[in-house]
Amino acid sequence: MPFLVESIWVFWPALQGFWFSLTRWDGMSAPSFVGADNYVELAGDATFRGALLNTVIWLVLFGGLSVLGGFGMALVLLKERRGVGFYRAALFTPVVFSLVVTALVWRVFYQPDGIADTLLRAVGLEHLIRPWLADPQTALYAVILPALWRQIGYVMVLFLAGLKAIDPALHEAARMDGANSWQRLRHVTIPQLKGVNAVVLSVIVIDSLRSFDIVWSMTRGGPYHSSELLSTYMYSTAFQSLRLGYASAIAVVIFVLALAVILGYLVRAFREEAS
Amino acid sequence: MNKLRTGAFHTGMILLSLLWLGPVLWVVVMSTRSFDDIAAHGVGSLPRSFTLDTYRQAWTDGGELRALINSMLVTVPSVLLSLGLAAMAAFALSRFRIPGRRTILLLMLAGNLLPPQILLIPVAKFSELTGLYDTLWALIAVQVGFGLGFYTFVLHGFMRDLPGEIQEAATIDGAGTAQIFTRVMLPLTRPALAALGALSFTWIFNDLLWAITVLRTDDNMPVTPALLALQGQFVSSWNVIAAGTVIAAVPTVAVFLRFQRHFVSGLALGAVK
């Protein structure tokens, strides 16, 4: 029964998605088969290439920095001591907000004469002030920052769980052998976290490719597609330009990008089930 | 030396915490400022006024009340239904020798990992076809369908680790399958159910993409899209927008505070498994 429910709302639509990507369709009349035309058009579409590049930048900056930041914070806040609970909670708080709430909080920050500008003025860097979200050069990065702000606490919790599962005796033994803290991190902690690393990596890549809410609520992919990701471009192509076949082709590209990660994740899950 | 390090640690962490909590506090404070105050001194200045009228405006004029009701009407049934179905599936898959059960389980998990973009158009069309388009039913159905895979996977891992003797003992005592499920398995999986419940509540409540895909009418929109609409309606009334933001954040924060322990362990559940 549950499998049936998921089949109706997930598997069957997914198969349809592939079929639609081979058609031209405006949503009113019946879809007409056009073969690979949509993919040929994608190859020459400058907006698509921009969105693809932005998605890669997003993956590297949002993904990379949230892993580094989350791991760093987990290391710093691992040891139980006074105040640690509060600091953990502070970093974790944004995780419970929706991305729309996060977006609005940060819009206030970026407003002309908002907090960002006030701070810059206070330290004498007025010349840097610009309309952060409306300037094609900064829009993408101005959106990545809030996304990171929310993600770091989440990644931190994942790493904290993993770090706590490491047997303290291992560290003790390494200390006895004269390993300094850097060597212990490099040769004890990181190898022990292998399982968590795999999960975090998959979560991050999939989250990056799915990222939609925050961009949509802050810039809608603008100005001039400068903060466009594949996910936002797909949505606006489908539901605003009503080019459903073409949008499906973009969705297939997103799927292919995610596929490697999904397969890796499943192989791991499969092995664990088997053992 | 040690004292110095502790001092540095706390100074650094307090600054960092401020960076994390500061923007949130700023919005809360701003939601109590009057329009004239913000117009005259900008959103970056310290408050010079206090009003709660902004909340009334967001609540009634901005339609946040309607939106909150919609959100609850979607979130609560979705959480209950998806966890109920997932528990049944996990029970069946972990306790009975169903042929191909491993494949089924992994297929369900794979479905949850799919990028939703590939599903958007077909799901929108399918809900039009079944007449569910632009109703809250469509949103509930999508949320249940899309969430099932992950919940089943986690609950399956949890149920598999419960000792088989419990089930055998219950069978000897004359309990049927349904009774074993409701009387024995469900109570034993409570920690996992609570964790997933808290987690899925925030996921579904916070969703934007599915809501704007299967809903069209403003009156049907849950809180997240309504908040975006509020921003269009009160373009430069930043105090009202801030009040709306606070209202939209309160339910998930409340769930988080109430189920804090479960919440964090739920996140960790996926990572260590």
Q: Write out pLDDT tens, residues A246-267.
A: 888 888 888 888 887 778 777 7
pLDDT attached to residue A225: 83
Residue contacts between A and B (CB atoms, under 8 Å): 261
Residues linked to residue A32 through DSSP beta bridges, in sequence order:
A24
Q: Which two tokens stand for residue A23?
A: 């058609």
What domains, with CATH codes, occur in chain B? 2-54 (no CATH), 64-272 (1.10.3720.10)
pLDDT attached to residue B270: 57
Q: What is the distance in angstroms between the Cα of A101 and the nearest Cα belonging to chain B?
A: 6
Task: State the pLDDT confidence band at A27, using cuts at 50, 70 and 90.
Answer: low
Residues linked to residue A143 through DSSP beta bridges, in sequence order:
none
Is A113 in the B-facing interface, judged by CB distances under 8 Å? yes
Rounded alpha-carbon distances, angstroms, from residue B228 to A121, A186, B67:
30, 45, 12
pLDDT attached to residue A15: 77
Is A272 in the B-facing interface, judged by CB distances under 8 Å? yes
pLDDT attached to residue A68: 92
Task: State the pLDDT confidence band at B77, using cuts at 50, 70 and 90.
Answer: very high
Share of chain B above pLDDT 90, in %: 3
Would the CA dihedral through A88, A93, A98, A100 be positive or negative? negative
Q: Of B94-103, B165-174, B263-272, which range is least confident?
A: B263-272
Is A197 in the B-facing interface, judged by CB distances under 8 Å? no
In whole angstroms, give the CA distance from residue B219 to residue B209: 17
Q: Of A93-97, B90-94, B95-99, B236-240, which range is least confident?
A: B95-99
Task: State the pLDDT confidence band at A272, using cuts at 50, 70 and 90.
Answer: low
Rounded alpha-carbon distances, angstroms, from residue B234 to B18, B50, B130, B182, B230:
29, 19, 36, 50, 6
Q: Tally the C-alpha atoms within 13 A of residue B176's C-alpha that lie toward its C-beta.
A: 1
| Contact call for A86 and B23, based on CB within 8 A | no
| Contact call for A98 and B224, based on CB within 8 A | yes
Task: Report yes or no: B143 and B202 within 8 Å, Cβ to Cβ.
Answer: no
Rounded alpha-carbon distances, angstroms, from residue B231 to A113, B140, B228, B236:
18, 26, 5, 8
| Contact call for A97 and B252, based on CB within 8 A | yes
What domains, with CATH codes, occur in chain A? 32-270 (1.10.3720.10)
Q: Write out pLDDT tens, residues A175-227.
A: 888 878 888 888 888 888 877 777 788 788 888 888 888 888 888 877 888 88
Q: What is the distance in angstroms between the Cα of B171 and the nearest Cα belonging to chain A?
A: 24
Q: Write out pLDDT tens, residues B22-67.
A: 888 888 888 888 888 887 777 777 777 888 888 888 888 878 888 8
User: Which residues 131-190 on chain B approach chain A with CB closer than 8 angstroms?
Assistant: 141-142, 144-146, 148-149, 152-153
pLDDT attached to residue B18: 86
Rounded alpha-carbon distances, angstroms, from residue B271 to A156, A165, A207, A208:
11, 11, 15, 18
In whole angstroms, give the CA distance from residue A267 to residue A5: 24
Q: Which residue has the higher pLDDT, B260 or A64?
A: A64
User: Which residues 1-40 on chain A approach chain B with CB closer than 8 angstroms?
Assistant: 1-3, 5-6, 8-14, 16-18, 20, 27
Residue A84 has pLDDT above 70, yes or no: yes
pLDDT attached to residue B272: 47
| Contact call for B89 and A3, based on CB within 8 A | yes
Q: What is the mean pLDDT of residues B100-116?
A: 79
Instruction: Name the residue among B108, B206, B267 with its Cβ closest to that of A99.
Output: B206
Q: Which chain B residues contact residue A239 at CB under 8 A?
A: 120, 124, 212-213
Q: Which residue has the higher pLDDT, B271 or A151?
A: A151
In whole angstroms, give the CA distance from residue B27 to residue B239: 8
Is the bond leading into B225 cis (omega within 30 degrees of zero)? no
Q: Tally the C-alpha atoms within 13 A of residue B75's C-alpha that lie toward its C-beta.
A: 25
Read off the amino acid at residue A131. P
ipTM: 0.81
**To the nearest whole number, what is the mean pLDDT of chain B?**
83
- Give the contacts of B126 (CB within 8 A, at least 6 positions apart): A8, A9, A12, A13
- Model pTM score: 0.85
pLDDT attached to residue B119: 83
pLDDT attached to residue A227: 86
| Contact call for B24 and A258, based on CB within 8 A | no
- Coil, helix or strand at residue B44: coil
Q: Which chain A residues contact residue B21 at CB under 8 A?
A: 90, 93
pLDDT attached to residue A161: 83
Name the closest residue on chain A to residue B125, using Cα atoms.
Answer: A27
Task: Report yes or no: A227 and A54 within 8 Å, Cβ to Cβ.
Answer: yes
Is A180 in the B-facing interface, judged by CB distances under 8 Å? no
Task: State the pLDDT confidence band at B256, using cuts at 50, 70 and 90.
Answer: confident
Q: Could you tell me if residue B50 is left (phi over 0), alpha (psi between -120 and 50 degrees) or otherwise beta?
A: beta
Instruction: Name the residue among A9, A230, A270 with its Cβ closest to that of B146.
Output: A9
Mean pLDDT highest for which of A118-122, B77-81, B90-94, B207-211? B77-81
Is A141 in the B-facing interface, judged by CB distances under 8 Å? no
Q: Write out pLDDT tens, residues B139-157.
A: 888 888 888 888 888 888 8
Q: Of A46-55, A139-148, B78-87, B149-158, which range is least confident?
A: B149-158
| Contact call for B206 and A270, based on CB within 8 A | no
Residue A1 has pLDDT above 70, yes or no: no
User: Which residues 150-179 on chain A approach chain B with CB closer than 8 angstroms?
Assistant: 153-154, 157-158, 160-162, 165
In whole angstroms, give the CA distance from residue A193 to residue A264: 17
User: Which residues 67-96 on chain B approach chain A with CB closer than 8 angstroms?
Assistant: 85-86, 88-89
Name the closest residue on chain A to residue B249, using Cα atoms.
Answer: A97
| Contact call for B146 and A10, based on CB within 8 A | yes
CA nearest to B151, candidates B82, B206, B74: B82
Q: Which chain B residues contact residue A145 at CB under 8 A?
A: none
**To the nearest whole number, what is the mean pLDDT of chain A?**
82
